[in-house]
Amino acid sequence: MKIETDDLIIRNFDMADENDLCEYMLQRVAAEFESYPNFTPEKAKEEIVLRSKSDEFFAIEFKKTHKVIGNIYLGKRNFNTRELGFVLNVDYQNKGYGSIASKAVFDFAFKKGIHRIYAECAPQNIPSWKVMERVGLKREAHFEKNVSFHNDDKGNPIYWDTYVYAAINPNENDVNGKMNPSLSDDL
């Protein structure tokens, strides 16, 4: 996959992206949301091998400098559905790139015949659900205290709520139950 916007290229990962991947993943070690507490530079080596072969993780490259500033995840799920996820290097957050990259991928996936795209986040992760709303996903659910990523000082789980956002392919003809015949599992 390769998609271009004015400032960004969204493409498959390459082995040469290891340092850029390592930079933004290390920023996630102690992050409040989407944290990777066990991430290390050594893990970046393993991760770049996996991601460069993956058709679910896509690098977000900043065109001017060719730096990889984050990634989009489009995880394959049953029934021709994809789960959308996104992470940006902190130096590139709150500049509109998360919304631009997500919208580009979202449009591309629907053109390719993906049936449904959904995403989940904590209600406190405002930039995350704002991106979802900006790209056209609708809030479908609010699950109360259904996930736990951290424990309190006594070791008890701290539960968080989850928003679920989703959109159905607007190009899909499902009148009388007939689905678009060009639905594909590959992007």
Ligand X SMILES: CC(C)(COP(=O)(O)OP(=O)(O)OC[C@H]1O[C@@H](n2cnc3c(N)ncnc32)[C@H](O)[C@@H]1OP(=O)(O)O)[C@@H](O)C(=O)NCCC(=O)NCCS
What amino acid is encoded at 141 in this protein? Answer: A
Q: Kindly tell me which residue out of 56, 107, 134, 183 binds ligand X, with binding defined by CB under 6 A.
A: 134
Cβ of residue 134: shortest distance to ligand X, in angstroms? 5
Report how far residue 111's alpha carbon sits from residue 169's, in angstroms, rounded to the nearest whole number. Answer: 8
| Residue 176 Cα to chain centre, angstroms | 33
The region of 4-12, 128-136, 149-157, 159-167 touching ligand X under the rule CB under 6 A is 128-136
Are 117 and 177 spatial neighbours (Cβ–Cβ below 8 Å)?
no
Q: Does 22 bind ligand X (CB under 6 A)?
A: no
Q: Are 27 and 71 in contact (CB under 8 A)?
A: no
User: Which span (9-17, 61-69, 85-93, 170-178) binds ligand X, by CB under 6 A?
Assistant: 85-93
From the list 11-19, 121-129, 136-144, 154-162, the region that binds ligand X by CB under 6 A is 121-129
Least separation, in Å, of the C-beta of 177 and ligand X?
33
Q: How many residues touch ligand X (CB under 6 A)?
A: 20
> Is residue 121 near ligand X by the rule CB under 6 A?
yes
Widest Cα–Cα separation across the chain: 55
Question: What contacts 116, CB < 8 A, 6 or more positions away?
Answer: 79, 80, 81, 82, 166, 167, 168, 169
Q: By CB under 6 A, is residue 114 in contact with ligand X? A: no
Structure token digits, residue 132: 């979802």
Instruction: Verify binding: residue 98, ligand X, rule CB under 6 A.
Output: yes
Strand partners, 3: 10
Using the minimum distance from each CB to ligand X, give the nearer residue, 69 or 113. Answer: 69
Query: Residue 10 interacts with ligand X (CB under 6 A)?
Result: no
Q: Are 87 and 80 in contact (CB under 8 A)?
A: no
Which member of 127, 149, 180, 183 binds ligand X (CB under 6 A)? 127
- Positions that interact with ligand X (CB under 6 A): 33-34, 86-88, 93-99, 121, 125-128, 130-131, 134
